[in-house]
Amino acid sequence: MEASVQKRVKRVTVWGACINVLLAILKAVGGVLFHSQALIADAIDSTGDLITDVIAIVAVRVARRPVDRNHPYGHGRVESLASLIIAGFLLLAAFTIGRSAVITLMHGTIEQVGWPAALIALLSIGTKESLFRWTRDNARKAHSRVLEANAWHHRSDAFSSIAVLIGVTSALLIPGAWFMDAVASLVVTLFILRTAVRIGLEAAHDLVDTEQDPELLGAVEVIALGVPQVVNAHRIRSRRYGPLVYVDLDIEVDGEMSVADGHDVAHDVKERILEKYSYVADAMIHVEPVDSHLDGEGTVRGM
């Protein structure tokens, strides 16, 4: 199962990288030949995609390594770290593109943009939107944070190319609107910044153990209560390690139950959770006597 997931992620990322190479070359050549600063900015963004594609491939390979002595929860958080790096590259690309656009707007005019620049931008919009949808669908199937970050980078590129198309056509159709191409570059910058912040925040939330999907926690409670011997389930928590989620919870059973029977009940709850959710790596279950939660949870440092 893990091998097939890794293969899926690698295939999607490699295809994305190949497409980004072609688009980056096409945009760069088109931007130079047809005097479109916005298209050149889009080419820089697509070139940045190549770097993030390589990061994604490496991160997924490392993240799928099995648990070892130094990494008892696995290597999954490498994906979150890689997403932060991708966000950093996006910020750098935004700064480079935005700086160039501001300089152009402050220091004079540029040459007339050619019509083929608009056609290249239109081709980029369709290609990157299709790539976004395909990558996002596969990211959700693989439950891969870094692949989803790459997907949203593709969507950001599609929006960037829309801005380029508007800027180029405005510069072509409106007399004296030479500056619209540079303005489009600034809009591209804003889209890149938005994507960078979104990816960076999600990765940071994973690294500081922000609670995962509330619906998952509610479902875990229902699953636990579905075991006949479980009277109550509470203090359900989760944390993400790359594509996997770890779950902790307390269950209450009859106080007269033997340790062995309590262990069997906890094992039953765990197996039901893991059977229901393929992306849950493990469920740590604490067995308590009935109504023990009424006395509080005891000492929990940091609470």
Contacts of 195 by beta carbon, 8 Å cutoff, 6+ apart: 90, 152, 153, 155, 156
Closest by alpha carbon to 238, among 222, 204, 214?
A: 214
CA diameter of the chain? 87
Task: List the structure tokens of 38.
Answer: 């916005």
**Cβ proximity of 97 and 41 under 8 Å:** yes
Residue 292 burial (C-beta neighbours within 10 Å; 0-12, 13-18, 19+)? middle
Residue from 120, 154, 96, 155 nearest 32 by CA: 120
Question: What is the pTM assigned to this prediction?
Answer: 0.65
Which is it for strands 244-253 and 232-241: parallel, antiparallel or unpaired? antiparallel
Name the one residue in this structure whose structure tokens are 């279950």: 285
Structural domains of the chain, ranges and CATH numbers in brackets: 2-207 (1.20.1510.10), 214-295 (3.30.70.1350)
Q: One digit per residue, pLDDT tens: the chain, 303 residues?
A: 455 666 777 788 888 888 888 988 998 898 888 878 778 877 877 776 777 777 777 777 777 777 778 887 778 788 788 888 888 888 887 888 788 778 777 876 556 778 888 899 899 999 989 999 999 888 888 777 777 877 887 887 888 788 888 888 887 888 777 778 778 778 878 877 887 888 888 888 888 777 767 788 899 999 999 999 999 999 999 888 877 889 999 999 998 999 999 999 999 999 999 999 888 889 999 999 998 776 666 555 555
- Give ∠ CA 8-13-17 in degrees, rounded to 5: 150
Gap between the Cα atoms of 234 and 252, Å rounded: 9
